[in-house]
């Protein structure tokens, strides 16, 4: 499964994982949580307990008006989440290009 990994203070990186629960948990360092903040069928997979464990602030999530409504803590990754499928899948090359641009610049929080 081709994913886009976003680590705090780093540019996004494409990575191949086997798609198992264990592989996904390894990427985020714990239990996974799937968020669906995009209009297209792409999931943001993060550490479910990232905030509780004090993982570093990574990137903001913004609403349609550009207002921050949440901050993802710790490493997360993006993958395909087709509505007709039960499992996550690989991102397309177009999705990788789009989301690499979206998360290209690390955010610093004060």
The string of pLDDT tens digits covering residues 38-92 is 999 999 999 999 999 999 999 999 999 999 999 999 999 999 998 888 899 999 9
53, 15, 12, 110 alpha-carbon torsion, rounded to 10°: 10
What span, in angstroms and rounded, lies between the C-alpha atoms of 110 and 49?
21
Question: What's the mean pLDDT in 26-49?
Answer: 97
Neighbours of 106 (CB within 10 A): 14
**Are 24 and 17 spatial neighbours (Cβ–Cβ below 8 Å)?**
yes
Bridge partners of 34? 45
């Amino acid at each position: 499964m081709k994913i886009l990994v976003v680590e705090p203070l780093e540019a996004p990186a494409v990575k191949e994982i086997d798609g198992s629960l264990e592989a996904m948990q390894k990427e985020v360092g714990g239990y996974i949580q799937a968020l669906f903040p995009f209009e297209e069928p792409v999931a943001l997979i993060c550490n479910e307990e990232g905030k509780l464990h004090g993982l570093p602030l990574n990137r903001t999530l913004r609403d349609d008006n550009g207002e921050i409504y949440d901050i993802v803590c710790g490493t997360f990754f993006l993958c395909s989440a087709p509505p007709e499928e039960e499992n996550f899948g690989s991102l397309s090359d177009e999705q990788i290009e789009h989301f690499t641009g979206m998360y290209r610049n690390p955010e610093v929080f004060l």
